[in-house]
Amino acid sequence: MARERDEHDRFERPRRHTKPRTKVRPNYDAAATARVVTIDRGRYTVTLDPSTGSGSGSDPSTGSGSESRVITAMKSRNLGRKGVVVGDHVRVVGDVSGDEGSLARIVEVTPRRTVLRRTADDDDPVERIIVANADQLVIVAALADPPPRAGLIDRCLVAAFDAGMQPLVCLTKSDLGSADELVAMLEPLGVKVVVTRQGGDLEVVRDALRDRTSVLVGHSGVGKSTLVNALVPDANRSVSYVNAVTGRGRHTSTSAISLELPFGGWIIDTPGIRSFGLAHVEVDDLIKAFPDLQDAARDCPRGCLHTAAEPECALDAAVADGSLARERVESFRRILDSMNQRDDY
Protein backbone atom coordinates (compact mmCIF):
# COMPACT_ATOMS: atom_id res chain seq x y z
CA MET A 1 0.00 0.00 0.00
CA ALA A 2 2.65 2.49 0.96
CA ARG A 3 4.67 1.30 -1.98
CA GLU A 4 1.93 1.99 -4.46
CA ARG A 5 2.06 5.63 -3.55
CA ASP A 6 5.81 5.83 -3.77
CA GLU A 7 6.65 8.51 -6.25
CA HIS A 8 9.69 6.59 -7.41
CA ASP A 9 7.79 3.53 -8.45
CA ARG A 10 6.74 5.21 -11.60
CA PHE A 11 10.35 5.45 -12.68
CA GLU A 12 11.61 2.04 -13.61
CA ARG A 13 15.11 1.17 -12.66
CA PRO A 14 17.20 0.00 -15.56
CA ARG A 15 17.08 -3.78 -15.51
CA ARG A 16 20.38 -5.50 -15.64
CA HIS A 17 21.32 -6.96 -19.02
CA THR A 18 17.82 -6.81 -20.42
CA LYS A 19 17.97 -3.48 -22.17
CA PRO A 20 20.75 -2.20 -24.36
CA ARG A 21 22.63 0.63 -22.72
CA THR A 22 21.90 3.94 -24.30
CA LYS A 23 23.26 7.40 -23.88
CA VAL A 24 19.82 8.58 -22.90
CA ARG A 25 19.55 6.34 -19.88
CA PRO A 26 22.93 5.78 -18.28
CA ASN A 27 23.42 2.54 -16.41
CA TYR A 28 24.59 3.10 -12.87
CA ASP A 29 24.86 -0.53 -11.83
CA ALA A 30 28.55 -0.04 -11.17
CA ALA A 31 28.01 3.04 -9.01
CA ALA A 32 28.54 2.86 -5.27
CA THR A 33 25.48 2.32 -3.11
CA ALA A 34 24.86 4.35 0.01
CA ARG A 35 22.16 5.37 2.47
CA VAL A 36 21.08 8.91 3.23
CA VAL A 37 21.59 9.74 6.92
CA THR A 38 20.71 13.42 7.01
CA ILE A 39 20.00 16.39 4.80
CA ASP A 40 20.98 20.00 5.32
CA ARG A 41 20.48 22.82 2.86
CA GLY A 42 20.60 20.70 -0.27
CA ARG A 43 23.59 18.67 0.91
CA TYR A 44 23.06 15.00 1.57
CA THR A 45 25.16 13.17 4.11
CA VAL A 46 25.30 9.53 3.04
CA THR A 47 27.16 6.51 4.33
CA LEU A 48 28.67 4.24 1.75
CA ASP A 49 27.52 0.65 2.10
CA PRO A 50 30.39 -1.37 3.51
CA SER A 51 30.15 -3.85 0.64
CA THR A 52 30.75 -1.11 -1.92
CA GLY A 53 33.31 0.87 0.01
CA SER A 54 35.58 -1.40 1.98
CA GLY A 55 34.43 -4.73 0.57
CA SER A 56 33.38 -6.38 3.81
CA GLY A 57 30.36 -7.87 2.04
CA SER A 58 27.99 -7.51 4.98
CA ASP A 59 24.31 -6.80 4.49
CA PRO A 60 23.98 -3.01 4.26
CA SER A 61 20.32 -3.06 5.31
CA THR A 62 21.10 -4.26 8.80
CA GLY A 63 24.25 -2.31 9.48
CA SER A 64 27.20 -4.28 10.67
CA GLY A 65 28.47 -1.87 13.27
CA SER A 66 31.66 -1.39 11.29
CA GLU A 67 32.78 2.12 10.39
CA SER A 68 31.01 3.20 7.23
CA ARG A 69 32.54 5.87 5.02
CA VAL A 70 30.63 9.12 5.29
CA ILE A 71 30.43 11.31 2.22
CA THR A 72 28.67 14.50 1.25
CA ALA A 73 26.64 14.49 -1.94
CA MET A 74 24.30 16.58 -3.97
CA LYS A 75 21.37 15.54 -6.10
CA SER A 76 22.21 14.94 -9.73
CA ARG A 77 20.24 16.87 -12.32
CA ASN A 78 18.90 13.71 -13.88
CA LEU A 79 16.78 13.12 -10.78
CA GLY A 80 14.76 16.20 -11.68
CA ARG A 81 12.18 16.97 -9.05
CA LYS A 82 12.29 13.55 -7.50
CA GLY A 83 12.91 13.88 -3.79
CA VAL A 84 15.68 12.23 -1.83
CA VAL A 85 14.90 11.63 1.84
CA VAL A 86 16.61 10.26 4.93
CA GLY A 87 16.70 6.49 4.77
CA ASP A 88 16.79 6.38 0.98
CA HIS A 89 19.13 3.87 -0.59
CA VAL A 90 20.93 5.66 -3.39
CA ARG A 91 23.64 5.27 -5.99
CA VAL A 92 26.42 7.80 -5.95
CA VAL A 93 29.05 8.70 -8.53
CA GLY A 94 31.87 11.20 -8.73
CA ASP A 95 34.14 11.88 -5.79
CA VAL A 96 33.11 9.29 -3.21
CA SER A 97 36.36 9.60 -1.26
CA GLY A 98 34.66 11.35 1.62
CA ASP A 99 37.68 13.66 1.83
CA GLU A 100 37.22 17.12 3.28
CA GLY A 101 35.49 19.32 0.72
CA SER A 102 34.64 16.44 -1.63
CA LEU A 103 31.22 16.27 -3.19
CA ALA A 104 29.62 13.22 -4.80
CA ARG A 105 26.46 13.06 -6.89
CA ILE A 106 23.33 11.03 -6.17
CA VAL A 107 22.20 9.63 -9.50
CA GLU A 108 19.55 7.11 -8.54
CA VAL A 109 17.14 6.33 -5.73
CA THR A 110 16.31 2.68 -5.11
CA PRO A 111 12.55 1.93 -4.89
CA ARG A 112 11.39 2.51 -1.33
CA ARG A 113 10.14 -0.34 0.82
CA THR A 114 8.23 1.98 3.16
CA VAL A 115 7.54 5.69 3.40
CA LEU A 116 6.57 7.79 6.40
CA ARG A 117 4.87 11.10 5.69
CA ARG A 118 4.28 14.22 7.64
CA THR A 119 1.19 16.33 7.08
CA ALA A 120 0.96 19.53 5.20
CA ASP A 121 1.12 22.55 7.48
CA ASP A 122 1.07 26.31 7.30
CA ASP A 123 4.70 26.52 6.27
CA ASP A 124 4.42 23.90 3.59
CA PRO A 125 1.11 22.93 2.02
CA VAL A 126 2.38 19.62 0.65
CA GLU A 127 2.25 16.31 2.48
CA ARG A 128 5.85 15.15 2.29
CA ILE A 129 7.76 11.96 2.77
CA ILE A 130 10.15 12.37 5.70
CA VAL A 131 11.75 8.96 6.01
CA ALA A 132 12.09 6.01 3.64
CA ASN A 133 12.81 2.33 4.17
CA ALA A 134 12.32 2.23 7.93
CA ASP A 135 10.70 -0.94 9.23
CA GLN A 136 9.73 0.15 12.73
CA LEU A 137 8.11 3.26 14.20
CA VAL A 138 9.07 3.83 17.83
CA ILE A 139 6.43 5.93 19.53
CA VAL A 140 8.08 7.49 22.58
CA ALA A 141 5.74 8.75 25.31
CA ALA A 142 6.49 9.63 28.93
CA LEU A 143 4.41 8.07 31.70
CA ALA A 144 4.42 11.48 33.39
CA ASP A 145 5.94 14.92 32.93
CA PRO A 146 4.57 15.40 30.30
CA PRO A 147 1.59 13.08 30.81
CA PRO A 148 0.91 10.59 28.02
CA ARG A 149 -1.89 11.28 25.56
CA ALA A 150 -3.56 8.13 24.35
CA GLY A 151 -5.01 9.85 21.29
CA LEU A 152 -1.55 10.79 20.06
CA ILE A 153 -0.29 7.26 20.50
CA ASP A 154 -3.28 6.04 18.49
CA ARG A 155 -2.56 8.46 15.66
CA CYS A 156 1.07 7.32 15.56
CA LEU A 157 -0.15 3.73 15.40
CA VAL A 158 -2.27 4.58 12.38
CA ALA A 159 0.75 6.22 10.73
CA ALA A 160 2.85 3.14 11.40
CA PHE A 161 0.29 0.65 10.13
CA ASP A 162 -0.38 2.75 7.06
CA ALA A 163 3.31 3.07 6.29
CA GLY A 164 3.74 -0.69 6.58
CA MET A 165 6.00 -0.22 9.60
CA GLN A 166 5.82 -2.22 12.79
CA PRO A 167 4.95 -0.01 15.76
CA LEU A 168 6.83 -0.14 19.06
CA VAL A 169 5.59 1.96 21.95
CA CYS A 170 8.35 3.07 24.29
CA LEU A 171 7.03 4.37 27.61
CA THR A 172 9.67 6.44 29.40
CA LYS A 173 10.05 7.82 32.92
CA SER A 174 8.75 4.69 34.59
CA ASP A 175 10.05 6.14 37.87
CA LEU A 176 7.28 8.74 37.64
CA GLY A 177 4.23 6.69 36.71
CA SER A 178 2.69 3.32 36.04
CA ALA A 179 2.50 1.82 32.56
CA ASP A 180 -0.41 -0.52 33.37
CA GLU A 181 -3.19 1.52 31.83
CA LEU A 182 -1.42 2.11 28.52
CA VAL A 183 -0.21 -1.46 28.34
CA ALA A 184 -3.81 -2.62 28.77
CA MET A 185 -4.93 -0.21 26.08
CA LEU A 186 -2.34 -1.44 23.56
CA GLU A 187 -2.44 -5.14 24.32
CA PRO A 188 -5.59 -5.98 22.29
CA LEU A 189 -3.94 -4.47 19.22
CA GLY A 190 -0.94 -6.72 19.60
CA VAL A 191 1.35 -3.69 19.79
CA LYS A 192 4.68 -4.28 21.46
CA VAL A 193 5.44 -2.05 24.44
CA VAL A 194 8.75 -1.43 26.23
CA VAL A 195 9.02 0.53 29.46
CA THR A 196 12.16 2.50 30.30
CA ARG A 197 13.61 5.00 32.70
CA GLN A 198 16.76 7.05 32.78
CA GLY A 199 19.63 4.90 34.01
CA GLY A 200 17.56 1.73 33.73
CA ASP A 201 18.43 -1.51 31.98
CA LEU A 202 18.06 -1.09 28.21
CA GLU A 203 18.42 -4.71 27.16
CA VAL A 204 14.75 -5.08 26.18
CA VAL A 205 14.94 -1.91 24.12
CA ARG A 206 18.14 -3.05 22.43
CA ASP A 207 16.51 -6.37 21.57
CA ALA A 208 13.58 -4.56 20.00
CA LEU A 209 15.84 -2.32 17.90
CA ARG A 210 18.63 -4.70 16.96
CA ASP A 211 19.24 -5.10 13.21
CA ARG A 212 16.23 -2.99 12.25
CA THR A 213 15.77 0.54 10.99
CA SER A 214 13.59 2.36 13.52
CA VAL A 215 12.17 5.85 13.40
CA LEU A 216 11.75 7.60 16.77
CA VAL A 217 8.88 9.99 17.26
CA GLY A 218 7.78 11.76 20.39
CA HIS A 219 7.07 15.16 21.80
CA SER A 220 9.64 17.43 23.31
CA GLY A 221 10.51 16.48 26.87
CA VAL A 222 9.47 12.82 26.75
CA GLY A 223 13.08 11.71 27.10
CA LYS A 224 14.00 10.94 23.51
CA SER A 225 17.49 12.44 23.71
CA THR A 226 18.11 10.67 27.00
CA LEU A 227 17.19 7.40 25.31
CA VAL A 228 19.23 8.02 22.17
CA ASN A 229 22.30 8.96 24.20
CA ALA A 230 21.97 5.79 26.25
CA LEU A 231 21.62 3.64 23.13
CA VAL A 232 24.31 5.38 21.11
CA PRO A 233 26.78 6.58 23.75
CA ASP A 234 28.72 8.65 21.23
CA ALA A 235 25.65 9.96 19.37
CA ASN A 236 26.92 13.51 19.45
CA ARG A 237 30.24 12.38 18.08
CA SER A 238 28.91 9.85 15.57
CA VAL A 239 30.16 10.13 12.03
CA SER A 240 26.90 11.25 10.53
CA TYR A 241 26.21 13.76 13.24
CA VAL A 242 29.68 15.29 13.24
CA ASN A 243 29.67 15.43 9.48
CA ALA A 244 26.35 17.21 9.49
CA VAL A 245 27.53 19.63 12.14
CA THR A 246 31.05 20.38 11.05
CA GLY A 247 30.58 19.88 7.32
CA ARG A 248 28.78 23.13 6.75
CA GLY A 249 28.57 24.95 10.01
CA ARG A 250 25.90 24.03 12.51
CA HIS A 251 23.27 21.44 11.74
CA THR A 252 20.43 23.90 11.49
CA SER A 253 17.90 21.95 9.51
CA THR A 254 15.10 19.99 11.09
CA SER A 255 15.88 17.03 8.89
CA ALA A 256 15.64 13.61 10.34
CA ILE A 257 19.01 12.12 11.26
CA SER A 258 19.99 8.49 11.11
CA LEU A 259 22.38 7.00 13.66
CA GLU A 260 23.99 3.60 13.45
CA LEU A 261 23.40 1.51 16.57
CA PRO A 262 26.54 -0.03 18.07
CA PHE A 263 24.68 -3.35 18.51
CA GLY A 264 23.38 -3.42 14.91
CA GLY A 265 20.64 -1.49 13.16
CA TRP A 266 19.80 2.18 12.81
CA ILE A 267 17.67 4.70 14.63
CA ILE A 268 16.32 7.76 12.91
CA ASP A 269 15.48 10.75 15.05
CA THR A 270 12.90 13.17 13.69
CA PRO A 271 13.24 16.58 15.31
CA GLY A 272 10.56 19.04 14.41
CA ILE A 273 8.07 16.51 13.10
CA ARG A 274 4.80 17.41 14.77
CA SER A 275 2.24 15.57 12.73
CA PHE A 276 1.82 12.68 10.35
CA GLY A 277 -0.06 12.72 7.12
CA LEU A 278 -3.12 10.60 7.72
CA ALA A 279 -5.47 12.35 5.31
CA HIS A 280 -4.82 9.77 2.61
CA VAL A 281 -5.27 6.74 4.88
CA GLU A 282 -8.16 4.49 3.88
CA VAL A 283 -9.91 2.15 6.28
CA ASP A 284 -9.12 -0.66 3.87
CA ASP A 285 -5.41 0.12 4.19
CA LEU A 286 -5.47 0.26 7.96
CA ILE A 287 -7.32 -3.03 8.40
CA LYS A 288 -4.61 -4.80 6.42
CA ALA A 289 -2.45 -4.57 9.52
CA PHE A 290 -4.95 -6.83 11.31
CA PRO A 291 -5.38 -10.00 9.23
CA ASP A 292 -8.00 -11.50 11.56
CA LEU A 293 -10.17 -8.38 11.35
CA GLN A 294 -9.64 -8.12 7.62
CA ASP A 295 -10.74 -11.70 7.31
CA ALA A 296 -13.94 -11.15 9.28
CA ALA A 297 -14.65 -7.93 7.38
CA ARG A 298 -14.98 -9.86 4.13
CA ASP A 299 -18.60 -10.42 5.15
CA CYS A 300 -19.28 -6.69 5.56
CA PRO A 301 -21.63 -4.93 3.20
CA ARG A 302 -19.90 -3.08 0.40
CA GLY A 303 -18.47 0.25 1.57
CA CYS A 304 -18.71 -0.62 5.27
CA LEU A 305 -16.48 1.67 7.33
CA HIS A 306 -16.35 -0.83 10.21
CA THR A 307 -17.18 1.80 12.83
CA ALA A 308 -19.53 1.16 15.74
CA ALA A 309 -22.15 3.18 13.85
CA GLU A 310 -22.28 0.70 10.96
CA PRO A 311 -25.47 -1.34 11.39
CA GLU A 312 -24.29 -4.47 9.58
CA CYS A 313 -20.54 -4.51 10.17
CA ALA A 314 -19.37 -8.12 10.18
CA LEU A 315 -16.92 -7.30 12.95
CA ASP A 316 -19.90 -7.15 15.32
CA ALA A 317 -21.12 -10.51 14.08
CA ALA A 318 -17.66 -11.96 14.67
CA VAL A 319 -17.67 -10.66 18.24
CA ALA A 320 -21.15 -12.07 18.77
CA ASP A 321 -20.19 -15.56 17.58
CA GLY A 322 -16.99 -15.48 19.60
CA SER A 323 -14.54 -15.61 16.69
CA LEU A 324 -13.12 -12.16 17.54
CA ALA A 325 -12.41 -10.65 20.96
CA ARG A 326 -14.55 -7.63 21.76
CA GLU A 327 -11.54 -5.65 23.05
CA ARG A 328 -9.72 -6.18 19.78
CA VAL A 329 -12.56 -4.84 17.67
CA GLU A 330 -13.11 -1.94 20.05
CA SER A 331 -9.41 -1.07 20.02
CA PHE A 332 -9.33 -1.18 16.25
CA ARG A 333 -12.32 1.15 16.14
CA ARG A 334 -10.62 3.47 18.58
CA ILE A 335 -7.57 3.94 16.36
CA LEU A 336 -9.91 4.23 13.38
CA ASP A 337 -11.64 7.13 15.14
CA SER A 338 -8.33 8.77 16.06
CA MET A 339 -7.57 9.02 12.37
CA ASN A 340 -10.37 11.48 11.88
CA GLN A 341 -9.48 13.73 14.79
CA ARG A 342 -7.26 16.62 13.86
CA ASP A 343 -4.44 16.84 16.33
CA ASP A 344 -0.68 16.75 16.41
CA TYR A 345 0.70 13.44 15.25
List contacts with Zn ion (CB under 5 A).
300, 304, 306, 313
- Is 306 labelled a binding residue? yes
Closer CB to Zn ion, 48 or 339, in the complex: 339
- Is 223 labelled a binding residue? yes
Euclidean distance between the first and the last CA atom of the chain, given in angstroms as a whole number: 20
Closer CB to ligand GTP, 48 or 227, in the complex: 227
Which one of ligand GTP, Zn ion, none interacts with residue 225, CB within 5 to 8 A by kind? ligand GTP
Which one of Zn ion, ligand GTP, none interacts with residue 313, CB within 5 to 8 A by kind? Zn ion
Closer CB to ligand GTP, 14 or 200, in the complex: 200
How far CA 87 is from CA of 1, 38, 153, 222, in Å, comes to 19, 8, 23, 24
- Is 313 labelled a binding residue? yes
Q: How far apart are CB 299 and Zn ion at their closest, in Å?
A: 8
Closer CB to ligand GTP, 27 or 225, in the complex: 225
Q: How far apart are CB 148 and ligand GTP at their closest, in Å?
A: 13
- Is 265 labelled a binding residue? no
Which one of ligand GTP, Zn ion, none interacts with residue 270, CB within 5 to 8 A by kind? none
- The three-state DSSP-derived secondary structure of the chain is CCHHHCHHHHCCCCCCCCCCCCCCCCCCCCCEEEEEEEEECCEEEEEECHHHHCCCCCCCCCCCCCCCCEEEEEECHHHCCCCCCECCEEEEEECCCCCCCCCEEEEEECCCCCEEEECCCCCCCCCEEEEECCCEEEEEEECCCCCCCHHHHHHHHHHHHHHCCEEEEEEECCCCCCCHHHHHHHHHHCCEEEECCCCCCCHHHHHHHCCCEEEEECCCCCCHHHHHHHHCCCHHHCHHHHHHHHHCECCCCCCCEEEECCCCCEEEECCCCCCECCCCCCHHHHHHHCHHHHHHHHHCCCCCCCCCCCCCCHHHHHHHCCCCCHHHHHHHHHHHHHHCCCCCC
- Is 225 labelled a binding residue? yes
Q: How far apart are CB 46 and ligand GTP at their closest, in Å?
A: 25
Closer CB to Zn ion, 152 or 319, in the complex: 319
- Is 218 labelled a binding residue? yes
| Chain residues in the site for ligand GTP (CB under 6 A) | 172-173, 175-176, 197-198, 218, 220-226
- Is 170 labelled a binding residue? no
Closer CB to ligand GTP, 98 or 148, in the complex: 148
Which one of ligand GTP, Zn ion, none interacts with residue 224, CB within 5 to 8 A by kind? ligand GTP
Which one of Zn ion, ligand GTP, none interacts with residue 300, CB within 5 to 8 A by kind? Zn ion
| 8 CA to centre of own chain | 17
- Is 156 labelled a binding residue? no
Which one of ligand GTP, Zn ion, none interacts with residue 306, CB within 5 to 8 A by kind? Zn ion
Binding site, residues?
172-175, 218-226, 300, 304, 306, 313
Binding site for Zn(2+), residues?
300, 304, 306, 313
